[in-house]
Chain A
Amino acid sequence: MDVVAFGETNLVGGKRASYFLSKKLECDYIDCTANDIGPQSILRTVTKYITLNKDPSIIIIGWSNPYSLELRKIYNRTEVTDFTDDNYFSYSRRYKKLTNDFRRLKRFDDLLFDHHLCNNRWTTIAYSLQQTLASLKIPYMMYNIDHAIEWNGQTMRIIREIDRTRYIGVENPKANIIKYLKKRGYKFDTNDGQKHLANLISEKLGKIK
């Protein structure tokens, strides 16, 4: 059994909660996180992973960067030699590495990152991945890192259908993981904080079994 992490590398990858979870469960750890990614990238990479790998695995998804749009380089692309395609990036207001050819996007930020547009997209993706993973009988857990899905007329019906036993936080702004850890005296960016999160995920996975 492998524990496979998806999300933004700085927040989810490396020796983060999924890594500590794999040690706790005595599983191998596979890091499928990438830099600067949002929900669209997570949908694409999880789908690619589960269609490529038939070995049993536990998928851990840390959602962040919902106000983003997945794009792919037009010039100076690198060849795709392994799982991760480094030509992809998620453009957001805070994206700092924008190349000259993409600078024109800046003036359309308000349109590209409309609240309803981005939240409806995120909710649709989260629900879809839950359904797909459940359909394929792949155990998983999701959590919000620094945002919560916005409850509105469009998202509420889908939110009601989301399996909350496998998604920590969903639309609760007080239940993103950074706030959750802070409330318990941990900093998100520390080993102790990440181990505490790993324990929380493990406990929740245990309850489902």
Chain B
Amino acid sequence: MTTVVAIGCSHTYGTMLDGKQSSSLFNLNNSYAGCLAKKHNCKFVNLSQPGGSNEFIFRVAIDWLTRHRKRDEDYIVLIGWTSPFRMETRYPEDSEYEHTTISKIDMKYFPISLGQGPEIARVKEFQRLHSICPLIFETTKDFDLWATYAFNLQQIFSKNKVKYLMFNTCQELAYTENNQSVIDSLNTKLYIEPLTKNENFLERSLHKGFVKTECWHLKLDAHLEYANYLSKIVVDLDYF
């Protein structure tokens, strides 16, 4: 039996999918990736995290590949790239603090992103990190890194014969002074419209008339529609 593995940010996690909760088992299991898995009668593992950065996605994909993947099993990995203006920090190993969300990943990691409320952090020191966001996040750097992560993950999945599909969930990738050759080398059969505005999960759904929540997330109806959209693509790719 094939397992669908989903790695991404809150959109892939299913945040506010039920219209009520940021983080819940229902949301975690019923995001568009979960709906896709159900549609094709697959097992489902959701390794996403609300606030997860592209660095998080890259690290978790490598962690999954080296730690959790069983070489004799069949997988389809869905990578939902997110806003570039995010990064990872980590609560000290010997501290009691953990990031408060229901998840199947290392909970010591704490994501910070531009525009996120500081109160999400458990400790004052981490709350204050928001004051340096304008220094840490820089457009060219963050788009360079995103393209770098995407290219390397494509090479790694392809070398390890892992079936995968990449797409954007809330923003499109962009050219910078540095990353043109990297973006032009991406396999766009397996990365849906990396540069196209309105082709990411959020904007595509809004254009189709689905209603967003106050915190710019989508409900179950939009997730079901996106699952159908992805389903056609993975069937065309002969993944099932």
Q: Which residues of A contact B (CB under 8 A)?
A: 40, 43-44, 47-48, 51-52, 69-74, 79-80, 85, 87-88, 101-102, 104-105, 108, 110-112, 114-117, 120-121, 124, 127-129, 131-132, 134-136, 152, 154, 157-158, 160-161
Residue contact B62 to A136, C-beta cutoff 8 Å? no
Given A51-B184, A71-B136, A104-B132, verify A117-B159 contact (CB < 8 Å).
no
Say yes or no: A111 contacts B156, CB within 8 Å. no
B148 interface hit (Cβ, 8 Å): yes
CB closest residue in chain A, given B156: A131
Nearest-neighbour CB distance to chain A for B68, whole angstroms, equals 9
Partner of A117, one of B63, B89, B148, B178: B89
Does the CB pair B178–A85 fall under 8 Å? yes
Q: Which residues of the other chain, B, contact A136 by a CB distance below 8 angstroms?
A: 155
Q: Are B132 and A71 in contact, with the CB atoms below 8 A? A: no
**In the complex, A121 Cα to B145 Cα: how many Å?**
13
5 additional A-B pairs beyond A74-B138, A108-B125, beta carbons within 8 Å, are: A44-B148, A52-B181, A74-B134, A114-B90, A121-B55
User: Given A43-B148, A47-B151, does the pair A88, B141 have CB atoms closer than 8 Å?
Assistant: yes
Given A111-B129, A117-B89, A71:B138 Cβ within 8 A: yes
Q: Give Cα A157 to B90, complex, Å.
A: 19
A135 touches B156 (CB 8 A): yes
Give the A-binding residues of B (Cβ under 8 A).
Answer: 55, 58-59, 62-63, 66-67, 88-90, 92-93, 106, 108, 125-126, 128-129, 131-132, 134-136, 138, 140-141, 144-145, 147-148, 151-153, 155-156, 158-160, 177-179, 181-182, 184-185
Residues of A near B126 (CB, < 8 A) are 111
Query: Can you name 26 A-B pairs with beta carbons within 8 Å?
Result: A40-B145, A44-B145, A44-B148, A47-B182, A48-B181, A51-B181, A51-B182, A69-B136, A70-B141, A71-B135, A79-B177, A85-B178, A104-B132, A108-B132, A111-B125, A114-B89, A114-B90, A124-B62, A124-B63, A131-B155, A131-B156, A131-B159, A134-B159, A157-B63, A158-B67, A160-B66
Q: Which residues of A contact B55 (CB under 8 A)?
A: 121
Given A85-B177, A108-B129: A47 and B136 within 8 A (CB)? no
Whether the pair A154, B106 counts as a contact (CB closer than 8 A) is yes
Bound CA–CA A88/B144 (angstroms):
11
